[in-house]
Amino acid sequence: MSLDFTIIGENIHTTRILMRNGKRIVEDDNGEEVVSYKDLDGNAHFMPIPDQIKATKVFTEGRVKHFMVAVMLGMSKNPHEREIGEHYIKTEILRQENAGATFLDLNVDEISYKIDIQKASMKWLIGFYSSVASIPPSIDSSSVEIIREGLTEYKSNHQPQGVPMINSASLERLSILDDVSQNNSYVM
């Protein structure tokens, strides 16, 4: 008997947190808190935490939504900030691919409560992901609109990594099954 497994990497998600008192949040030379991480070659890098994030309740309670930071920086008009955010996301994409992921779950729900910002963020993330990943995305959201935005963007990029997955179909969102059928997508 042969068993096949699908491994869905989960960390490209704006809900993911690091504790401010944990080892990944450190102070830079100016005394500012930053997210520390290593690239695949073991080189240390630091991602600044924008003031907009520092003003949130989550931050004051001791947590940093690090992928929210990365997506915000990646979408920045400032080229230096954009490069930092993109590098952080690319590093995580490659790390999870190297660990054997079949799909990578992409979720931007907590970037904002405004649907237009969520949709723009998903569009940007799918576009960036399509330019660097080698495996298909698992497009994840609690909103059918955001999932559709991700599918549309991925389709406009000619699905470079193959057929995407939709995460997820539920009794509350049965209409998403039409999108699964129209896009010949995988679904969970």
Query: Interhelix angle for 66-74 vs 115-132, to 10°?
Result: 80
Q: pLDDT tens, 106-122?
A: 999 999 999 999 999 99
Q: Is residue 90 part of a domain?
A: yes
pTM given for the model: 0.92
From CA 108, how far away is CA 8, in angstroms rounded?
16
Residue 168 lies in a domain: no
Task: Give the pLDDT mean for 160-184.
Answer: 73
pLDDT of residue 135: 96
Tell me which residue of 32, 8, 10 sits closest to 20, measured CA to CA: 32
- Residue 123 forms part of a structural domain: yes
Is residue 169 in some structural domain?
no
What residues make up the domain containing 37? 8-163
Asked whether residue 141 is domain-assigned, the answer is yes
Asked if residue 3 belongs to a domain, the reply is no
- In the numeric block, which tokens belong to residue 146? 């955001």
The backbone torsions φ and ψ at residue 3, rounded to the nearest 5 degrees and listed phi first, read: -115, 130
Which pair of structure tokens corresponds to residue 126?
């799918």
Q: What total number of domains does the chain contain?
A: 1
Query: In one letter, which amino acid is 165?
Result: M
What's the gap between Cα 17 and its chain centre? 12
pLDDT digits (tens, 9 = 90+) for 69-118: 999 999 999 999 999 999 999 999 999 999 999 999 999 999 999 999 99
Residue 25 lies in a domain: yes
Amino acid at 111: I
> Where are the extended beta strands (E) located within the chain?
8-13, 18-19, 25-27, 33-38, 44-48, 63-64, 103-107, 137-140, 165-167, 186-187
Q: Write down the mean pLDDT value for the chain.
A: 92
Is residue 3 pLDDT above 60, yes or no?
A: no
Pairwise pLDDT comparison (6 vs 171), residue with the higher score? 6
Does 40 map to a domain?
yes
